[in-house]
Chain A
Amino acid sequence: MVPASSLHFIPRQAAPRRVTAEPPFVRWLLIGVALLFLGLFLVVPLAAVFAEAFAKGLGFYLHIFNDANTLSAIKLTLIAAGIAVPLNCIFGVAAAWAIAKFDFRGKTILITLIDLPFSVSPVVSGLIYVLLFGAQGLVGPWFMEHDIQIIFAVPGIVLATIFVTFPFVARELIPLMQAQGRTEEEAAHVLGASGWQTFWRVTMPNIKWGLMYGVILCNARAMGEFGAVSVVSGHIRGQTNTIPLHVEILYNEYNFVGAFAVASLLTFLALVTLLLKTWAERKNAALRGTGN
């Protein structure tokens, strides 16, 4: 938390105070209350993760990462994110191209449907795949006959991860590409560039930071998803445990230091995500600024 005494204000304008500004003590009070709220809800939990993780020293902390189950959880999380993020990235670009560069009926409905996974509870997101591919599911028995296990196995985890991260890239690119219009691409195409050339040389440089932004958020959610993955995983140690599920298992076994040590890895990832996100946002704003 930032102590109130270290705050100092840079007045926008010298006195007299503008009619649209609050008296200094009101400003101080509002800033103070806002920072107290954010400190309590954001900074304290963040600090708690690292404090608990290092509660028994660095040796204990490192010990948990030397465990085969932890390593296999890290591996599975990397696999799930490694499949889900590129697939949703390709989808996002394709959907944004179709929606931003062409006119067709039902566009608004399509955009709403793409956003749908965001409004579905993570638990329900996992459940729908159990109902489809589970032992009593619609197509589950067929897959079982062919010895393909989806639920309580890696494919189920990958599917659930794809579902919960489905809209991230698309919803970032659609408004961006709509705002940029079609004239640049049309000009390139009329001048003889092929579709691919137009995309890579004209569209891509314009959307790269927006794409980056979507990918960063998509990846953070893919690696951190808990509810949906928990439903389809079956919690088999060393086989179907992702990092967040491993945190839960360690926590429920009262191995708090271990749970928080693994959690600190995810927290570190979240902090890197925020950093990259802020950076991509600024780059994107700069790109838009010079584009006009």
Chain B
Amino acid sequence: MANKKSSVLPGFKLTLGYTLLYLSLIVLIPLAATFWKTSALTWDQFWHTVTTPRVMASYRLSFGASFLAALINLLFGLLVAWVLVRYHFWGKRFVDALVDLPFALPTAVAGIALTAIYAPNGWIGHWLEPLGIKVAYTRLGVLVALTFIGLPFIVRTVQPVLEDFDVEIEESAASLGANRWQTFWRVTLPMLRPALLTGFTLAFARALGEYGSVVFIAGNMPMKTEITPLLIITKLEEFDYPGATAIAVVMLVASFVLLLTINFLQWWSHRYHAPV
């Protein structure tokens, strides 16, 4: 890590040294220890632990619901970003600030609030009950909670790209005879694609690891409404440390893959929108 171009400013060794020390102590060593702990298991034991039917059911729910929630947010996030950037309406600044609520509201609070609303006697739940739709304590509840916590990601990745968007490109499409929908579908949307994908992956990654907002509304029935993070907690409470660690390693590997994907997508979108 030698200086390529020596800077006249002081403090390089001090700040970089402190950064690396703190990063190692808080993040890298504990994470490495987790992988090291797994080596107490043989490969067969590890594989058996992370593929039992109950664990597989939790993967299906966690990955499936996270994917669907990110998809819902993809559609509505684009809509919200579009409305906030392109239109003017009363209370827009307030709405803009409110979009970040899922980032600011503690997940446990979101969990109990959503459960209260969607319970059979709740504000929304009692309207859905006669229709035969149950949300709280079902997989649909998991989906609602994950949609809530992923909501800001797509809005906040698409919004700046739309703000910088050169309207002249749309004007030239229109002058060449495209109608509004064709312009949006063929010109605007393709340019938003990297931002949309980045936001989608961020929302998906966040939903995958989410715990607090889901445990209250899910009902936590094994094989049915049990998410993978909850299973880790269950194993811990049973003092099954190797089991908890093995599942945690699967989650960590999934997180790392998603992190790499996000980095790649961000690099791609910067290339797409390189300042002229």
* Contact flags B101-125 to A (C-beta < 8 A → 1, else 0): 1111111111011101100001110
Give chain B residues whose Cβ lies under 8 Å from the Cβ of A131: 30, 33-34, 37, 241, 245
Give chain A residues whose Cβ lies under 8 Å from the Cβ of B174: 19-20
CA distance A90 to B10 in the complex (A): 17
In the complex, which residues 1-52 of chain B have their Cβ closer than 8 Å to any Cβ of chain A?
1-5, 7-12, 14-16, 18-19, 22-23, 26-31, 33-34, 36-37
Are the C-beta atoms of A91 and B18 separated by less than 8 Å? yes
Are the C-beta atoms of B112 and A34 separated by less than 8 Å? no
Main secondary structure of the interface of B (DSSP, over half): helix
Query: Chain A nearest CB: distance from B115 CB in Å?
Result: 9
Are the C-beta atoms of B232 and A274 separated by less than 8 Å? no
Decide yes or no whether B170 CB sits under 8 A from chain A: yes
In the complex, which residues 67-126 of chain B have their Cβ closer than 8 Å to any Cβ of chain A?
76, 79-80, 82-83, 87-91, 93, 95-110, 112-114, 116-117, 122-124
For this complex, 13 residue pairs linking A to B, each with C-beta atoms less than 8 Å apart, are A8-B90, A38-B95, A45-B110, A94-B18, A102-B12, A110-B23, A122-B210, A129-B30, A225-B106, A243-B106, A245-B108, A263-B109, A277-B104
Are the C-beta atoms of A127 and B232 separated by less than 8 Å? yes
Which residue of chain B has its CB nearest to the CB of A43? B98
Are the C-beta atoms of B80 and A7 separated by less than 8 Å? no
CA distance A97 to B180 in the complex (A): 47
Give chain A residues whose Cβ lies under 8 Å from the Cβ of B108: 224, 226, 244-245, 247-248, 263, 266
CA distance A124 to B117 in the complex (A): 29
CA distance A177 to B99 in the complex (A): 26
Give chain A residues whose Cβ lies under 8 Å from the Cβ of B219: none
Query: Chain A nearest CB: distance from B16 CB in Å?
Result: 4
Are the C-beta atoms of A121 and B30 separated by less than 8 Å? no
Decide yes or no whether A56 CB sits under 8 A from chain B: no
In the complex, which residues 133-164 of chain A have their Cβ closer than 8 Å to any Cβ of chain B?
134, 136-138, 159, 162-163
Give chain A residues whose Cβ lies under 8 Å from the Cβ of B2: 104-105
With contacts A20-B170, A223-B106 taken as known, whether A123 is within 8 angstroms of B209 at the C-beta atoms is yes
Decide yes or no whether A101 CB sits under 8 A from chain B: yes
Segment at the interface with B among A57-65, A67-75, A185-193, A204-212: A185-193
Give chain B residues whose Cβ lies under 8 Å from the Cβ of A66: none
In the complex, which residues 102-123 of chain A have their Cβ closer than 8 Å to any Cβ of chain B?
102-106, 110, 112-117, 119-123
Are the C-beta atoms of B116 and A52 separated by less than 8 Å? yes
Are the C-beta atoms of A186 and B216 separated by less than 8 Å? no
Are the C-beta atoms of B211 and A8 separated by less than 8 Å? no
Are the C-beta atoms of A102 and B101 separated by less than 8 Å? no
With contacts A91-B19, A117-B27 taken as known, whether A267 is within 8 angstroms of B105 at the C-beta atoms is yes
Query: Chain B nearest CB: distance from A102 CB in Å?
Result: 5
Give chain A residues whose Cβ lies under 8 Å from the Cβ of B34: 124, 127-128, 131
Are the C-beta atoms of A127 and B22 separated by less than 8 Å? no
In the complex, which residues 73-91 of chain A have their Cβ closer than 8 Å to any Cβ of chain B?
91
CA distance A104 to B241 in the complex (A): 40
Are the C-beta atoms of B105 and A270 separated by less than 8 Å? yes
Are the C-beta atoms of A274 and B15 separated by less than 8 Å? no
**A-binding residues in B (CB < 8 A):** 1-5, 7-12, 14-16, 18-19, 22-23, 26-31, 33-34, 36-37, 76, 79-80, 82-83, 87-91, 93, 95-110, 112-114, 116-117, 122-124, 147-148, 151, 167, 170-171, 174-175, 180, 183, 205, 208-212, 216, 229-230, 232-233, 236, 241, 244-245, 248, 251-252, 255-256, 258-259, 262-263
Are the C-beta atoms of A122 and B8 separated by less than 8 Å? no
Are the C-beta atoms of B15 and A231 separated by less than 8 Å? no
CA distance A155 to B103 in the complex (A): 25
Are the C-beta atoms of B105 and A119 separated by less than 8 Å? no
Give chain A residues whose Cβ lies under 8 Å from the Cβ of B122: 48
Partner of B97, one of A199, A248, A275: A275
Give chain B residues whose Cβ lies under 8 Å from the Cβ of A99: 19
Give chain A residues whose Cβ lies under 8 Å from the Cβ of B103: 217, 220
Query: Chain A nearest CB: distance from B72 CB in Å?
Result: 9
Known: A48-B123, A110-B23, A124-B248. 18 other contacts (CB 8 A): A6-B90, A9-B88, A9-B89, A19-B171, A38-B99, A113-B28, A119-B256, A120-B252, A122-B212, A124-B34, A128-B30, A128-B248, A132-B29, A194-B10, A199-B11, A223-B106, A245-B108, A275-B97
Decide yes or no whether A236 CB sits under 8 A from chain B: no
CA distance A185 to B256 in the complex (A): 36
The 3 closest A-B pairs by CB, nearest first: A121-B209, A224-B106, A226-B212
